[in-house]
């Protein structure tokens, strides 16, 4: 005759199993990705040449230090993100092929930059 585990042992086994399943289902954290920082400010984008890794995931962290909203946009990359004054937003890119891509602020047409993946 075999003894049944105690209720506390069953609860402990469930907790371990749940933790293992949760660990397997959680995707890679965005914090582990390379982070490239960009500043947008009332008609300027800094840096004007944004270098990113080609062929790998990365996060573009965009901070609007200006007094008006901005919109990071790239028709080439098919990405856009509106950012309120004094705010920071991020865009995670799965991969970008090597090359140069035009970037601009849709709210301030004079603000232009180039994203270069290498």
Total residues belonging to the chain: 118
For residue 80, give the CATH number of its domain: 2.60.40.420
Residue 62 lies in a domain: yes
**DSSP designation for 77:** T
Spans of the chain below 70 pLDDT:
1-2, 9-10, 12-13, 15-31
- pLDDT tens, residue by residue, 83-110: 999 999 999 999 999 999 999 999 999 9
Residue 47 lies in a domain: yes
Order the strands of the 70-74 sheet from edge to edge. Answer: 49-52, 108-117, 99-105, 70-74, 79-83
Cα separation, 99 vs 91, in Å, equals 19
Give me the number of domains the chain comprises: 1
Residue 30's pLDDT is 45
Residue 61 lies in a domain: yes
Residue 44 lies in a domain: yes
Which SS3 state, helix, strand or coil, does residue 98 take? coil
User: Which range marks the domain in which residue 98 is found?
Assistant: 30-117
């Amino acid at each position: 005759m075999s003894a049944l585990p105690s209720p506390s042992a069953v609860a402990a086994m469930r907790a371990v199993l749940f933790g293992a399943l949760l660990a397997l289902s959680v995707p890679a954290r965005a914090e582990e990705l390379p982070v490239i920082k960009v500043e947008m400010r009332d008609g300027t984008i800094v840096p004007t040449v944004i270098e990113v890794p080609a062929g790998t995931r990365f996060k573009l962290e965009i901070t609007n230090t200006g007094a008006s909203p901005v919109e990071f946009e790239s028709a080439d990359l098919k990405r856009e993100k509106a950012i309120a004054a004094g705010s920071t937003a991020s865009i995670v890119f799965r991969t970008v092929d090597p090359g140069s891509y035009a970037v601009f602020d849709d709210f301030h047409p004079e603000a232009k930059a180039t994203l270069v993946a290498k």
